[in-house]
Amino acid sequence: MSISYRSYHNSIIIIIIMFVFQYAMLCGHAPFYGQSASTEEIMQRIREGQFSFEGSEWNSVSQAAKNIIEGTTQYHTHSSFNEYSCL
């Protein structure tokens, strides 16, 4: 079965949106931010998938929830989630 570029691209966008939504719902802030970070630095973090589970807000979040969030960042590998498993 052949996947069109548009279909693949749309799936990636959905997965990234789900990642940001889940991350923010669990800890209360966006995954890629910084009070002193420039827009360029934030965009670099997004491209590289740089985020962390550091901070007291993550102490009460289960490892299973963290695994789901990490799975959504692996959109370029065969072990990644698809848009349906993110839900």
* Sequence-distant contacts of 40-44: CB under 8 A, at least 24 apart: none
Q: At residue 62, what are phi and psi to the nearest 5 degrees? A: -70, 155
pLDDT at 83 over 60: no
CB proximity list for 36: less than 8 A, separation 6 or greater: none
| 16-56 pLDDT tens trace | 888 888 999 999 988 877 677 788 887 787 777 788 898 99
Give me the pLDDT at residue 82, please: 56
What CATH code is assigned to 5-86?
1.10.510.10
Domain boundaries along the sequence of the chain:
5-86
Give me the pLDDT at residue 1, please: 47
40 against 82, higher pLDDT: 40
Average pLDDT for the chain: 77
Q: Which pLDDT band, with edges at 50, 70 and 90, does 78 fall under?
A: low
